[in-house]
């Protein structure tokens, strides 16, 4: 296999607030292969956005990356000079955000904003960049692209705005696109269109995509591999098929139970897991999920579980794992419904090609 496009190793991000140090991300490691679509899921506040922003070098104040490595095409982004990172930003790695309205500048024309990454990296003069922006808008299926390019963001619909954001991301044909909850702010029908667009773009341009979402249905439809995060850490990782069929971390399992049917997808929070995510200033000792875990055992209270192989290409950080939970504790009867039963998430999942 060729070396990964992106390697994240033991990433740590802290926020230095008046109330104390918020350990927003702690020891996150993963790889992204060329052309791959990787999903990152988890409740809001678990550190997905900060992980993504750290790749862009854009962790906001008072946050700071306090440790780890982020290797892009073999070069560590964290040890680069700010100008070098800026040169990669928007050219080799692009990012689009949750709310396309607030993410677009209200006082600049859409076409110009789409053209701007090309101008920023001296890819074209202004006239050619603007012309190419119209092409890009067409490519992301914006109707009447010339007209829309001359419009301001407030004159576009939500879906059009997100398409414009995607066009902006693609402007310099990056090898990697980070999409942070790209559909959360959109209507259901528009959500499906945008996901469709991302899938098509990935197939046509071979752009690798990191898709961040708290909606498992979105992951199921699009990704090949998934990372599940909880309280700043990866709790489970594997192919989308394995994860949906045989989740091993209780958190993943509970998440799956709370997924609404795909045809009823709403941008709603995953609220069916009892309790709240922990305070990241003083996270619980042992497994960070233990206060909410129905299957916890003694070591969970004291020993943080390592992320270890639980099946081929699947890893989970759990002392119990669902296999044991089912066998020894009768998990399904304990909580009365089997994961996935009646959840309808099986529809879009296809058996991944094992290579």
Partner 1 sequence: MRWRGTLLYIGQRLLLIVFTVLAVSSIVFIGIHRLPGSVFVSERLRASQMQALLHQYGLDRPLWEQYRDFLLGLLHGDLGISYVNQGVRISPLVGREALVSAEVGALALLFTIGLGMLLGVLAAIRQNTWLDYLFTSTAVVGYSMPNFVVATFLLLVFAVFLQRATGGMLYYQIGWTGTFGSLGEISIPAFALGFPYASVVARLTRASMLEVIRQDYIRTARAKGLPEQLVIVRHALRNALIPVITILGPLVIGILTGSVVIENIFGIPGLGKEFVQSILNRDYNIVVGVFTMYAALVGIANLLVDLLYPLVDPRIRY
CB of 67 to ligand ADP, least distance (A): 16
The total of other beta-carbon atoms located within 10 Å of residue 154's CB is 11
Structure-block tokens of residue 155:
């004159």
d(CA 58, CA 100): 18
Among 9, 64, 86, 246, binds partner 1 (CB under 8 A): 86
Three-class DSSP category at 239: strand
Distances (CA, A) of 196 to 36, 235, 324: 15, 28, 38
Q: Is 22 in the site for ligand ADP (CB under 6 A)?
A: yes
Q: Is 97 in the site for partner 1 (CB under 8 A)?
A: yes
Question: By CB under 8 A, which span of 65-73, 93-101, 233-241, 275-283 interacts with partner 1?
Answer: 93-101
Question: By CB under 8 A, which span of 19-27, 29-37, 89-97, 192-200 interacts with partner 1?
Answer: 89-97
d(CA 3, CA 23): 30
Among 4, 47, 117, 247, binds ligand ADP (CB under 6 A): 47
DSSP code of residue 264: G
Three-class DSSP category at 4: coil
Q: Is 267 in the site for ligand ADP (CB under 6 A)?
A: no
Nearest CA-CA partner of 276 in 291, 262, 261: 291
Three-class DSSP category at 223: coil
Site for partner 1 in 219-278 (CB under 8 A): none
- Return left, alpha or beta for 157; rule: phi > 0 is left, psi -120 to 50 is alpha, else beta: beta
Among 55, 96, 208, 280, binds ligand ADP (CB under 6 A): 280
**CB closer to partner 1 out of 63 and 250:** 63
**CB closer to ligand ADP out of 46 and 195:** 46
Question: By CB under 6 A, which span of 16-24, 82-90, 253-261, 326-334 interacts with ligand ADP?
Answer: 16-24
Structure-block tokens of residue 125:
């003069």
Dihedral sign of CA atoms 55, 56, 60, 64 in order: positive
Site for partner 1 in 51-70 (CB under 8 A): 56, 58, 60
CB of 235 to Mg ion, least distance (A): 17
79: buried, middle or exposed (CB in 10 Å: 19+, 13-18, 0-12)?
exposed
**CB closer to ligand ADP out of 49 and 207:** 49
Among 4, 68, 90, 277, binds partner 1 (CB under 8 A): 90
Q: Is 288 in the site for partner 1 (CB under 8 A)?
A: no
Find the Cα–Cα–Cα–Cα dihedral 334, 247, 22, 183, rounded to 10°: -110
47 binds, among Mg ion, ligand ADP, partner 1, none (CB under 5 to 8 A by kind): ligand ADP
Among 51, 103, 162, 207, binds partner 1 (CB under 8 A): 103
**CB closer to partner 1 out of 114 and 235:** 114
Q: Is 88 in the site for partner 1 (CB under 8 A)?
A: yes
Among 23, 48, 91, 132, binds partner 1 (CB under 8 A): 91
Q: Is 89 in the site for partner 1 (CB under 8 A)?
A: yes
Crossing angle between the packed helical segments 158-170 and 126-139, to the nearest 10 degrees? 120
Dihedral sign of CA atoms 58, 71, 15, 289 in order: positive
Nearest CA-CA partner of 24 in 42, 7, 6: 42
- How many whole angstroms from its chain centre is CA 184? 12
Q: Is 171 in the site for ligand ADP (CB under 6 A)?
A: no
> Mask of contacts with Mg ion, 16-55, x by CB under 5 A?
---------------------------------x------
75-76 and 233-239 as β-strands: parallel, antiparallel, unpaired? unpaired
Site for ligand ADP in 59-78 (CB under 6 A): 60, 63
Residues in a beta bridge with 9: 69
Q: Which spans of this chain sit near partner 1 (rule: CB under 8 A)?
A: 56, 58, 60, 86-91, 94-95, 97, 99, 102-108, 116-117, 120-121, 152, 154, 165, 168
């Amino acid at each position: 296999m060729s070396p990964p496009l992106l390697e994240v190793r033991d990433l740590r991000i802290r926020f230095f607030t008046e109330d104390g140090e918020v350990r927003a991300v702690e020891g996150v490691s993963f790889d992204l292969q060329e052309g791959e679509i990787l999903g990152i899921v988890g409740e809001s506040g678990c550190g997905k956005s900060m992980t993504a922003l750290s790749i862009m070098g854009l962790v906001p104040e008072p946050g700071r990356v306090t440790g780890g490595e982020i290797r892009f095409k073999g070069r560590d982004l964290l040890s680069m000079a700010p100008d070098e990172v800026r040169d990669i930003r928007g050219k080799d790695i692009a990012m689009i955000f949750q709310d396309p309205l607030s993410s677009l500048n209200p006082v600049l024309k859409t076409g110009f904003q789409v053209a701007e990454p090309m101008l920023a990296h001296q890819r074209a003069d202004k006239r050619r960049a603007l012309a190419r922006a119209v092409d890009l808008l067409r490519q992301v299926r914006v109707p009447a692209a010339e007209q829309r390019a001359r419009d301001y963001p407030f004159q576009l619909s939500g879906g059009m705005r997100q398409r414009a954001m995607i066009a902006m991301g693609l402007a310099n044909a990056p090898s990697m696109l980070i999409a942070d909850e790209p559909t959360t702010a959109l209507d259901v029908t528009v959500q499906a269109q945008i996901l469709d667009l991302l899938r098509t773009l990935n197939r046509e341009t071979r752009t690798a995509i990191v898709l961040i979402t708290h909606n498992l249905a979105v992951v199921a439809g699009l990704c090949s591999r998934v990372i599940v995060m909880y309280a700043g850490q990866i709790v489970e990782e594997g192919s989308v098929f394995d994860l949906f069929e045989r989740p091993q971390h209780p958190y993943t399992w509970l998440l799956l139970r709370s997924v609404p049917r795909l045809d009823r997808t709403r941008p709603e929070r995953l609220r069916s897991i009892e309790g709240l995510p922990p305070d990241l200033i003083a996270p619980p000792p042992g497994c960070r999920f233990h206060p909410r875990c129905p299957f916890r055992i003694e070591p969970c209270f004291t020993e943080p579980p390592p992320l270890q192989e639980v099946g081929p290409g699947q890893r989970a950080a759990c002392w119990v794992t669902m296999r044991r939970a089912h066998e020894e504790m009768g998990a399904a009867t304990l909580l009365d419904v089997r994961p996935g039963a009646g959840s309808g998430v099986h529809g879009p999942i296809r058996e991944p090609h094992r290579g």
